[in-house]
Amino acid sequence: MGAFIGENFLLTNDTAVELYHRHAATMPVIDYHCHLDPKAIAQNRRFGGIAEAWLAGDHYKWRAMRANGIDEAYITGGKSDYEKFGKWAETVPYTMRNPLYHWTHLELARLFGIDTILSPATARTIYDRCNELLATDAFRPRELMERCGVRVVCTTDDPADSLEYHRQIAQSGFSVRVLPAWRPDRVLATEDSAAYNRYIDTLGEAAGTDIASYDDLLEALRRRHDYFARCGCRLSDHGLDTFPAEDYTERAMRTVFAKIRGGKTLSADETALLRSGLLTELAAMDGEAGWTQQFHIGPIRNPNSIMFRRIGPDTGFDAIGDKPCAEAGHRFFDRLRRRDALGKTILYNLNPKDGEVLAAMAYSFNDGSTPGMMQLGAAWWFLDQENGIRRQLDTLSSFGLLSRFVGMLTDSRSFLSYPRHEYFRRILCDMLGADIESGRLPRSETAFIGRMVEDICYHNAERYFGFEADGKADSAPRNPVPNIRTEP
Protein backbone atom coordinates (compact mmCIF):
# COMPACT_ATOMS: atom_id res chain seq x y z
CA MET A 1 0.00 0.00 0.00
CA GLY A 2 1.30 3.43 -0.95
CA ALA A 3 1.59 6.52 1.20
CA PHE A 4 -1.62 8.32 2.18
CA ILE A 5 -0.39 11.58 0.64
CA GLY A 6 0.57 10.13 -2.72
CA GLU A 7 1.55 11.99 -5.87
CA ASN A 8 -2.07 12.06 -7.07
CA PHE A 9 -3.68 12.93 -3.76
CA LEU A 10 -7.10 14.60 -4.35
CA LEU A 11 -6.72 14.20 -8.14
CA THR A 12 -9.57 11.97 -9.27
CA ASN A 13 -9.15 12.01 -13.06
CA ASP A 14 -6.35 11.79 -15.59
CA THR A 15 -6.71 15.36 -16.83
CA ALA A 16 -6.47 16.67 -13.26
CA VAL A 17 -3.24 14.73 -12.86
CA GLU A 18 -1.84 16.32 -16.00
CA LEU A 19 -2.94 19.84 -15.03
CA TYR A 20 -1.52 19.56 -11.54
CA HIS A 21 1.86 18.01 -12.30
CA ARG A 22 2.50 19.92 -15.53
CA HIS A 23 1.15 23.34 -14.58
CA ALA A 24 0.49 23.76 -10.84
CA ALA A 25 2.96 21.73 -8.82
CA THR A 26 6.12 23.70 -9.57
CA MET A 27 4.70 27.22 -9.57
CA PRO A 28 6.19 29.51 -6.91
CA VAL A 29 4.13 30.90 -4.04
CA ILE A 30 2.93 34.43 -3.37
CA ASP A 31 1.41 34.40 0.11
CA TYR A 32 -0.24 37.81 0.01
CA HIS A 33 -2.12 37.49 3.31
CA CYS A 34 -0.67 35.80 6.38
CA HIS A 35 0.05 36.42 10.05
CA LEU A 36 3.70 35.38 10.18
CA ASP A 37 5.87 37.22 12.67
CA PRO A 38 8.42 39.32 10.75
CA LYS A 39 10.72 39.26 13.79
CA ALA A 40 11.00 35.47 13.48
CA ILE A 41 11.99 35.87 9.81
CA ALA A 42 14.49 38.65 10.56
CA GLN A 43 16.17 36.70 13.35
CA ASN A 44 15.85 33.35 11.55
CA ARG A 45 16.41 31.43 14.75
CA ARG A 46 15.83 27.72 15.03
CA PHE A 47 12.51 26.56 16.42
CA GLY A 48 12.56 25.08 19.90
CA GLY A 49 10.87 21.97 18.52
CA ILE A 50 7.83 20.70 16.69
CA ALA A 51 5.47 21.82 19.47
CA GLU A 52 6.59 25.43 18.99
CA ALA A 53 6.68 25.24 15.19
CA TRP A 54 3.42 23.36 14.73
CA LEU A 55 1.13 23.82 17.74
CA ALA A 56 1.90 27.21 19.28
CA GLY A 57 -0.63 29.77 18.09
CA ASP A 58 -2.54 27.34 15.85
CA HIS A 59 -6.13 27.95 16.91
CA TYR A 60 -7.41 25.48 14.28
CA LYS A 61 -5.67 22.65 16.13
CA TRP A 62 -6.69 24.06 19.49
CA ARG A 63 -10.38 24.02 18.58
CA ALA A 64 -10.12 20.40 17.49
CA MET A 65 -8.32 19.37 20.67
CA ARG A 66 -10.95 21.02 22.85
CA ALA A 67 -13.68 19.28 20.85
CA ASN A 68 -11.88 16.00 21.50
CA GLY A 69 -12.04 16.52 25.25
CA ILE A 70 -8.44 17.66 25.75
CA ASP A 71 -7.86 19.76 28.84
CA GLU A 72 -6.68 23.35 28.26
CA ALA A 73 -3.46 22.61 30.13
CA TYR A 74 -2.35 20.58 27.08
CA ILE A 75 -3.38 23.32 24.65
CA THR A 76 -2.43 26.77 25.95
CA GLY A 77 -1.38 25.68 29.43
CA GLY A 78 1.86 24.67 31.08
CA LYS A 79 2.25 21.04 30.04
CA SER A 80 5.50 19.98 28.40
CA ASP A 81 6.04 20.12 24.67
CA TYR A 82 5.83 16.37 24.27
CA GLU A 83 2.69 16.16 26.39
CA LYS A 84 1.05 18.77 24.13
CA PHE A 85 2.25 17.00 20.99
CA GLY A 86 0.98 13.70 22.35
CA LYS A 87 -2.48 15.13 22.89
CA TRP A 88 -2.47 16.48 19.34
CA ALA A 89 -1.45 13.02 18.08
CA GLU A 90 -4.29 11.58 20.15
CA THR A 91 -6.71 14.02 18.47
CA VAL A 92 -5.57 13.57 14.85
CA PRO A 93 -7.37 10.25 14.19
CA TYR A 94 -10.61 11.93 15.25
CA THR A 95 -10.13 14.77 12.74
CA MET A 96 -10.94 12.60 9.72
CA ARG A 97 -12.94 14.65 7.17
CA ASN A 98 -11.80 17.84 8.89
CA PRO A 99 -9.21 19.74 6.79
CA LEU A 100 -6.78 19.37 9.68
CA TYR A 101 -6.39 15.69 8.82
CA HIS A 102 -5.22 16.53 5.31
CA TRP A 103 -3.13 19.54 6.36
CA THR A 104 -1.40 17.58 9.12
CA HIS A 105 -0.30 14.78 6.83
CA LEU A 106 0.55 17.12 3.94
CA GLU A 107 2.84 19.10 6.23
CA LEU A 108 4.48 15.98 7.63
CA ALA A 109 5.00 14.56 4.14
CA ARG A 110 6.10 17.71 2.33
CA LEU A 111 8.19 19.42 4.99
CA PHE A 112 9.54 16.49 7.00
CA GLY A 113 9.34 13.65 4.50
CA ILE A 114 7.20 11.62 6.91
CA ASP A 115 4.54 9.48 5.25
CA THR A 116 3.42 7.75 8.43
CA ILE A 117 -0.06 8.49 9.81
CA LEU A 118 0.14 10.47 13.05
CA SER A 119 -1.47 8.68 15.98
CA PRO A 120 -0.62 7.89 19.61
CA ALA A 121 1.31 4.83 18.38
CA THR A 122 3.56 6.89 16.10
CA ALA A 123 3.71 10.10 18.13
CA ARG A 124 7.08 9.59 19.83
CA THR A 125 8.93 8.56 16.65
CA ILE A 126 7.44 11.42 14.64
CA TYR A 127 8.10 13.90 17.45
CA ASP A 128 11.75 12.87 17.69
CA ARG A 129 12.29 12.91 13.92
CA CYS A 130 10.70 16.35 13.50
CA ASN A 131 12.77 17.75 16.35
CA GLU A 132 15.91 16.23 14.83
CA LEU A 133 15.22 18.01 11.55
CA LEU A 134 14.15 21.28 13.20
CA ALA A 135 17.51 21.40 14.97
CA THR A 136 19.25 21.77 11.60
CA ASP A 137 19.81 24.94 9.60
CA ALA A 138 17.61 23.61 6.78
CA PHE A 139 14.55 24.04 8.98
CA ARG A 140 14.98 27.64 10.08
CA PRO A 141 12.15 29.98 8.97
CA ARG A 142 13.98 31.44 5.96
CA GLU A 143 15.16 28.09 4.71
CA LEU A 144 11.66 26.64 5.01
CA MET A 145 10.23 29.53 3.01
CA GLU A 146 12.81 29.15 0.27
CA ARG A 147 12.38 25.37 0.05
CA CYS A 148 8.61 25.85 -0.27
CA GLY A 149 9.11 28.05 -3.33
CA VAL A 150 7.90 31.24 -1.65
CA ARG A 151 8.68 34.45 -3.53
CA VAL A 152 6.63 37.09 -1.70
CA VAL A 153 4.98 37.19 1.72
CA CYS A 154 2.73 39.99 2.97
CA THR A 155 2.38 40.09 6.74
CA THR A 156 -0.36 41.85 8.74
CA ASP A 157 0.79 45.04 10.46
CA ASP A 158 -0.65 47.87 12.50
CA PRO A 159 -0.18 51.45 11.21
CA ALA A 160 1.85 52.27 14.33
CA ASP A 161 4.30 49.40 13.76
CA SER A 162 7.90 50.50 13.21
CA LEU A 163 8.39 47.85 10.47
CA GLU A 164 11.95 47.52 11.77
CA TYR A 165 12.04 43.79 11.06
CA HIS A 166 10.77 44.25 7.52
CA ARG A 167 13.59 46.72 6.95
CA GLN A 168 16.12 44.30 8.44
CA ILE A 169 14.90 41.52 6.16
CA ALA A 170 15.03 43.77 3.09
CA GLN A 171 18.63 44.73 3.88
CA SER A 172 19.72 41.14 4.56
CA GLY A 173 19.59 39.89 0.98
CA PHE A 174 16.96 37.26 1.75
CA SER A 175 15.57 35.91 -1.52
CA VAL A 176 11.94 36.10 -0.35
CA ARG A 177 10.32 39.52 -0.28
CA VAL A 178 8.67 40.06 3.11
CA LEU A 179 6.38 43.07 2.80
CA PRO A 180 4.07 44.72 5.30
CA ALA A 181 0.32 44.89 4.81
CA TRP A 182 -1.62 47.76 6.39
CA ARG A 183 -4.20 46.55 8.96
CA PRO A 184 -5.81 49.63 10.60
CA ASP A 185 -8.51 47.83 12.59
CA ARG A 186 -7.50 49.55 15.82
CA VAL A 187 -8.21 52.95 14.25
CA LEU A 188 -11.87 51.84 14.12
CA ALA A 189 -11.97 50.08 17.52
CA THR A 190 -13.77 52.77 19.51
CA GLU A 191 -15.69 50.61 22.03
CA ASP A 192 -13.29 51.36 24.92
CA SER A 193 -12.48 55.08 24.85
CA ALA A 194 -9.51 54.77 27.21
CA ALA A 195 -7.89 52.00 25.18
CA TYR A 196 -8.67 53.88 21.98
CA ASN A 197 -6.98 57.04 23.21
CA ARG A 198 -3.90 55.12 24.29
CA TYR A 199 -3.69 53.69 20.80
CA ILE A 200 -4.17 57.12 19.16
CA ASP A 201 -1.30 58.42 21.30
CA THR A 202 0.87 55.54 20.06
CA LEU A 203 -0.13 56.22 16.47
CA GLY A 204 0.73 59.90 16.89
CA GLU A 205 4.17 59.03 18.25
CA ALA A 206 4.81 56.75 15.29
CA ALA A 207 3.73 59.50 12.88
CA GLY A 208 5.72 62.20 14.68
CA THR A 209 2.70 64.38 15.38
CA ASP A 210 0.18 65.15 18.11
CA ILE A 211 -3.32 63.89 17.33
CA ALA A 212 -5.73 66.31 18.96
CA SER A 213 -8.35 66.56 16.21
CA TYR A 214 -9.91 64.51 13.44
CA ASP A 215 -7.79 66.35 10.88
CA ASP A 216 -4.69 65.48 12.91
CA LEU A 217 -5.76 61.83 12.82
CA LEU A 218 -6.07 61.84 9.04
CA GLU A 219 -2.67 63.52 8.70
CA ALA A 220 -1.06 60.93 10.98
CA LEU A 221 -2.64 58.12 8.99
CA ARG A 222 -1.41 59.61 5.72
CA ARG A 223 2.12 59.85 7.07
CA ARG A 224 2.07 56.23 8.20
CA HIS A 225 0.45 55.14 4.93
CA ASP A 226 3.27 56.83 3.03
CA TYR A 227 5.83 55.18 5.29
CA PHE A 228 4.34 51.72 4.70
CA ALA A 229 4.42 52.41 0.96
CA ARG A 230 8.12 53.28 1.16
CA CYS A 231 8.65 49.95 2.94
CA GLY A 232 7.05 48.09 0.02
CA CYS A 233 3.45 47.80 1.20
CA ARG A 234 0.98 47.04 -1.59
CA LEU A 235 -2.07 45.81 0.33
CA SER A 236 -4.36 46.82 3.15
CA ASP A 237 -6.63 44.54 5.10
CA HIS A 238 -9.75 45.09 7.20
CA GLY A 239 -11.52 42.65 9.47
CA LEU A 240 -15.18 43.67 9.76
CA ASP A 241 -18.45 42.12 10.92
CA THR A 242 -20.11 44.12 8.12
CA PHE A 243 -19.45 47.30 6.15
CA PRO A 244 -19.88 50.60 8.03
CA ALA A 245 -21.60 52.81 5.47
CA GLU A 246 -23.58 55.43 7.39
CA ASP A 247 -23.86 58.89 5.88
CA TYR A 248 -21.64 61.48 7.54
CA THR A 249 -20.32 65.01 7.20
CA GLU A 250 -16.83 66.30 7.92
CA ARG A 251 -18.27 68.46 10.68
CA ALA A 252 -19.89 65.46 12.34
CA MET A 253 -16.65 63.48 12.08
CA ARG A 254 -14.74 66.24 13.83
CA THR A 255 -17.35 66.45 16.57
CA VAL A 256 -17.49 62.72 17.24
CA PHE A 257 -13.71 62.31 17.24
CA ALA A 258 -13.36 65.24 19.64
CA LYS A 259 -15.84 63.51 21.95
CA ILE A 260 -13.94 60.23 22.14
CA ARG A 261 -10.59 62.03 22.25
CA GLY A 262 -11.96 63.79 25.31
CA GLY A 263 -12.42 60.42 26.98
CA LYS A 264 -16.17 60.07 26.54
CA THR A 265 -17.95 56.94 25.35
CA LEU A 266 -19.57 57.12 21.93
CA SER A 267 -23.14 56.07 21.29
CA ALA A 268 -23.82 53.29 18.82
CA ASP A 269 -24.79 55.82 16.16
CA GLU A 270 -21.67 57.89 16.77
CA THR A 271 -19.49 54.77 16.62
CA ALA A 272 -21.03 53.76 13.30
CA LEU A 273 -20.58 57.26 11.90
CA LEU A 274 -16.91 57.48 12.89
CA ARG A 275 -16.14 54.04 11.49
CA SER A 276 -17.92 54.83 8.26
CA GLY A 277 -16.02 58.04 7.66
CA LEU A 278 -12.64 56.65 8.68
CA LEU A 279 -12.97 53.51 6.55
CA THR A 280 -13.91 55.66 3.57
CA GLU A 281 -10.85 57.83 4.03
CA LEU A 282 -8.60 54.79 4.48
CA ALA A 283 -9.99 53.24 1.30
CA ALA A 284 -9.39 56.47 -0.58
CA MET A 285 -5.76 56.48 0.57
CA ASP A 286 -5.37 52.92 -0.74
CA GLY A 287 -6.88 53.82 -4.08
CA GLU A 288 -4.66 56.85 -4.48
CA ALA A 289 -1.56 54.80 -3.66
CA GLY A 290 -2.51 52.01 -6.07
CA TRP A 291 -2.80 49.46 -3.26
CA THR A 292 -5.19 46.54 -3.12
CA GLN A 293 -7.68 46.71 -0.25
CA GLN A 294 -8.96 43.48 1.32
CA PHE A 295 -12.16 43.20 3.31
CA HIS A 296 -12.65 40.12 5.49
CA ILE A 297 -16.35 40.18 6.32
CA GLY A 298 -18.29 38.21 8.88
CA PRO A 299 -16.59 37.06 12.10
CA ILE A 300 -17.92 37.23 15.62
CA ARG A 301 -14.94 37.93 17.84
CA ASN A 302 -14.46 36.49 21.33
CA PRO A 303 -18.00 35.25 22.07
CA ASN A 304 -16.69 33.03 24.89
CA SER A 305 -16.17 35.75 27.48
CA ILE A 306 -14.71 33.43 30.13
CA MET A 307 -11.97 32.14 27.83
CA PHE A 308 -11.35 35.61 26.40
CA ARG A 309 -10.64 36.91 29.89
CA ARG A 310 -8.52 33.86 30.68
CA ILE A 311 -6.28 33.54 27.60
CA GLY A 312 -7.12 36.48 25.33
CA PRO A 313 -8.03 36.88 21.63
CA ASP A 314 -7.09 34.70 18.64
CA THR A 315 -7.10 31.50 20.66
CA GLY A 316 -9.79 29.53 18.83
CA PHE A 317 -13.06 30.89 20.15
CA ASP A 318 -14.16 33.18 17.31
CA ALA A 319 -17.15 32.17 15.17
CA ILE A 320 -19.17 32.98 12.07
CA GLY A 321 -21.37 36.07 12.25
CA ASP A 322 -24.67 36.73 10.51
CA LYS A 323 -24.92 40.49 9.96
CA PRO A 324 -26.33 41.56 6.59
CA CYS A 325 -23.67 43.08 4.36
CA ALA A 326 -25.27 43.58 0.94
CA GLU A 327 -26.92 46.99 1.27
CA ALA A 328 -24.14 48.52 3.35
CA GLY A 329 -21.42 47.15 1.08
CA HIS A 330 -23.00 48.58 -2.04
CA ARG A 331 -23.40 51.99 -0.35
CA PHE A 332 -19.79 51.93 0.75
CA PHE A 333 -18.33 51.10 -2.67
CA ASP A 334 -20.70 53.46 -4.47
CA ARG A 335 -19.51 56.26 -2.20
CA LEU A 336 -15.91 55.52 -3.19
CA ARG A 337 -16.82 55.27 -6.87
CA ARG A 338 -18.55 58.66 -6.75
CA ARG A 339 -15.36 60.11 -5.27
CA ASP A 340 -13.31 58.37 -7.98
CA ALA A 341 -11.45 56.75 -5.09
CA LEU A 342 -12.21 53.05 -5.56
CA GLY A 343 -9.14 50.93 -6.23
CA LYS A 344 -8.37 47.23 -6.48
CA THR A 345 -10.46 45.29 -3.98
CA ILE A 346 -10.75 41.70 -2.75
CA LEU A 347 -13.80 40.63 -0.75
CA TYR A 348 -13.77 37.60 1.56
CA ASN A 349 -16.87 36.09 3.17
CA LEU A 350 -16.82 34.05 6.37
CA ASN A 351 -20.53 33.18 6.35
CA PRO A 352 -21.26 30.83 3.42
CA LYS A 353 -24.48 32.74 2.70
CA ASP A 354 -22.45 35.81 1.75
CA GLY A 355 -20.31 34.28 -1.00
CA GLU A 356 -22.75 35.04 -3.79
CA VAL A 357 -23.60 38.40 -2.20
CA LEU A 358 -19.97 39.57 -2.23
CA ALA A 359 -19.26 38.09 -5.66
CA ALA A 360 -22.17 40.00 -7.19
CA MET A 361 -21.14 43.11 -5.27
CA ALA A 362 -17.61 42.99 -6.59
CA TYR A 363 -18.64 42.65 -10.21
CA SER A 364 -21.04 45.58 -9.92
CA PHE A 365 -18.09 47.96 -9.57
CA ASN A 366 -15.52 46.71 -12.08
CA ASP A 367 -14.76 49.47 -14.57
CA GLY A 368 -12.52 47.82 -17.17
CA SER A 369 -9.37 49.53 -15.88
CA THR A 370 -7.71 46.44 -14.39
CA PRO A 371 -8.36 42.73 -14.98
CA GLY A 372 -10.10 41.44 -11.86
CA MET A 373 -10.06 44.88 -10.23
CA MET A 374 -12.79 43.84 -7.78
CA GLN A 375 -13.13 40.14 -7.08
CA LEU A 376 -14.22 37.51 -4.61
CA GLY A 377 -11.35 36.38 -2.42
CA ALA A 378 -10.15 32.91 -1.55
CA ALA A 379 -12.06 30.62 0.80
CA TRP A 380 -11.27 31.99 4.22
CA TRP A 381 -10.93 30.67 7.77
CA PHE A 382 -13.82 28.27 8.51
CA LEU A 383 -14.38 27.93 4.75
CA ASP A 384 -10.74 27.05 3.99
CA GLN A 385 -11.52 23.36 3.45
CA GLU A 386 -12.31 21.22 0.42
CA ASN A 387 -16.04 21.94 0.26
CA GLY A 388 -15.47 25.64 0.98
CA ILE A 389 -12.75 25.93 -1.65
CA ARG A 390 -14.89 24.18 -4.25
CA ARG A 391 -17.85 26.41 -3.43
CA GLN A 392 -15.71 29.56 -3.64
CA LEU A 393 -14.33 28.48 -7.02
CA ASP A 394 -17.82 27.65 -8.28
CA THR A 395 -19.19 30.99 -7.07
CA LEU A 396 -16.33 32.97 -8.55
CA SER A 397 -16.69 31.10 -11.84
CA SER A 398 -20.45 31.62 -11.96
CA PHE A 399 -20.43 35.33 -11.15
CA GLY A 400 -17.16 36.45 -12.66
CA LEU A 401 -13.87 35.33 -14.18
CA LEU A 402 -12.07 32.45 -12.52
CA SER A 403 -9.22 33.05 -14.98
CA ARG A 404 -8.46 36.40 -13.28
CA PHE A 405 -8.51 35.06 -9.70
CA VAL A 406 -5.40 35.92 -7.67
CA GLY A 407 -5.34 32.52 -5.99
CA MET A 408 -4.75 31.12 -2.55
CA LEU A 409 -3.16 32.38 0.65
CA THR A 410 -2.33 30.72 3.98
CA ASP A 411 -3.84 33.24 6.45
CA SER A 412 -1.54 31.45 8.88
CA ARG A 413 0.81 32.16 11.76
CA SER A 414 2.86 29.04 11.02
CA PHE A 415 5.90 28.59 8.78
CA LEU A 416 4.71 25.02 8.18
CA SER A 417 1.45 26.02 6.46
CA TYR A 418 2.68 26.41 2.88
CA PRO A 419 1.30 22.99 1.81
CA ARG A 420 -2.11 24.68 1.99
CA HIS A 421 -1.22 26.18 -1.39
CA GLU A 422 -0.72 22.66 -2.69
CA TYR A 423 -4.04 21.61 -1.16
CA PHE A 424 -5.79 24.41 -3.05
CA ARG A 425 -3.96 23.73 -6.30
CA ARG A 426 -4.90 20.06 -6.27
CA ILE A 427 -8.58 20.91 -5.72
CA LEU A 428 -8.46 23.53 -8.51
CA CYS A 429 -6.93 21.05 -10.96
CA ASP A 430 -9.34 18.31 -9.95
CA MET A 431 -12.33 20.58 -10.67
CA LEU A 432 -11.00 21.76 -14.03
CA GLY A 433 -9.94 18.26 -15.01
CA ALA A 434 -13.40 16.92 -14.21
CA ASP A 435 -14.95 19.67 -16.36
CA ILE A 436 -12.76 18.75 -19.30
CA GLU A 437 -13.45 15.05 -18.98
CA SER A 438 -17.21 15.59 -18.66
CA GLY A 439 -17.31 17.87 -21.70
CA ARG A 440 -18.15 21.03 -19.75
CA LEU A 441 -14.88 22.52 -20.97
CA PRO A 442 -13.37 21.72 -24.39
CA ARG A 443 -10.46 19.30 -24.42
CA SER A 444 -9.06 21.27 -27.35
CA GLU A 445 -8.43 24.16 -24.91
CA THR A 446 -6.40 22.11 -22.42
CA ALA A 447 -3.26 24.13 -23.17
CA PHE A 448 -5.09 27.41 -22.44
CA ILE A 449 -6.56 25.91 -19.26
CA GLY A 450 -3.07 24.84 -18.21
CA ARG A 451 -1.87 28.42 -18.56
CA MET A 452 -4.94 29.55 -16.61
CA VAL A 453 -3.92 27.20 -13.79
CA GLU A 454 -0.45 28.75 -13.77
CA ASP A 455 -1.98 32.22 -13.69
CA ILE A 456 -4.27 31.40 -10.76
CA CYS A 457 -1.44 29.74 -8.85
CA TYR A 458 1.07 32.54 -9.37
CA HIS A 459 1.06 34.95 -12.32
CA ASN A 460 -2.25 36.71 -11.61
CA ALA A 461 -1.11 37.69 -8.12
CA GLU A 462 2.31 38.70 -9.44
CA ARG A 463 0.71 41.09 -11.94
CA TYR A 464 -2.27 42.24 -9.86
CA PHE A 465 -0.20 43.32 -6.87
CA GLY A 466 2.57 44.77 -9.03
CA PHE A 467 5.32 42.37 -7.97
CA GLU A 468 6.19 41.69 -11.61
CA ALA A 469 6.96 45.33 -12.39
CA ASP A 470 9.49 45.82 -9.59
CA GLY A 471 11.65 42.93 -10.77
CA LYS A 472 11.74 41.34 -7.32
CA ALA A 473 9.45 38.45 -8.16
CA ASP A 474 9.70 36.24 -11.20
CA SER A 475 8.04 33.25 -12.71
CA ALA A 476 10.83 30.70 -12.79
CA PRO A 477 9.39 27.49 -11.39
CA ARG A 478 10.83 25.94 -8.27
CA ASN A 479 10.31 22.63 -6.55
CA PRO A 480 7.96 23.64 -3.73
CA VAL A 481 8.80 20.72 -1.42
CA PRO A 482 12.04 19.29 -0.05
CA ASN A 483 13.12 15.91 -1.37
CA ILE A 484 13.21 14.18 2.00
CA ARG A 485 12.00 10.74 2.89
CA THR A 486 12.06 9.01 6.23
CA GLU A 487 10.12 6.14 7.72
CA PRO A 488 9.49 6.61 11.43
Single out the residue of 386, 328, 373 nearest to residue 354, CA to CA. Answer: 328
Query: How many CB atoms sit inside 10 A of residue 327's CB?
Result: 11
Cα–Cα dist 90/277, whole Å: 50
What are the pLDDT digits (tens) for 158-214? 999 999 999 999 999 999 999 999 999 999 999 999 999 999 999 999 999 999 999
What's residue 468's pLDDT?
A: 80
Residue-level length of the chain: 488
Topology match between the domains 46-139 and 181-405: no
Strands 319-320 vs 29-31: parallel, antiparallel or unpaired: unpaired
DSSP character at residue 24: I
pTM, two decimal places: 0.95
Q: Which ranges of the chain have pLDDT less than 50? A: 472-488
Phi (first) and psi of residue 260, to 5 degrees: -70, -30
What are the pLDDT digits (tens) for 338-354? 999 999 999 999 999 99
What are the pLDDT digits (tens) for 362-383? 999 999 999 999 999 999 999 9
Q: Structural domain boundaries of the chain?
A: 1-45+150-175+412-488, 46-139, 181-405
* The architecture CATH gives domain 181-405: Alpha-Beta Barrel (3.20)
What three-state secondary structure class fits 318? coil
* E strands in 195-300: 235-240, 292-297, 299-300
What three-state secondary structure class fits 63? helix
- In the CATH hierarchy, which fold is given to the domain comprising 46-139? uronate isomerase, domain 2, chain A (1.10.2020)
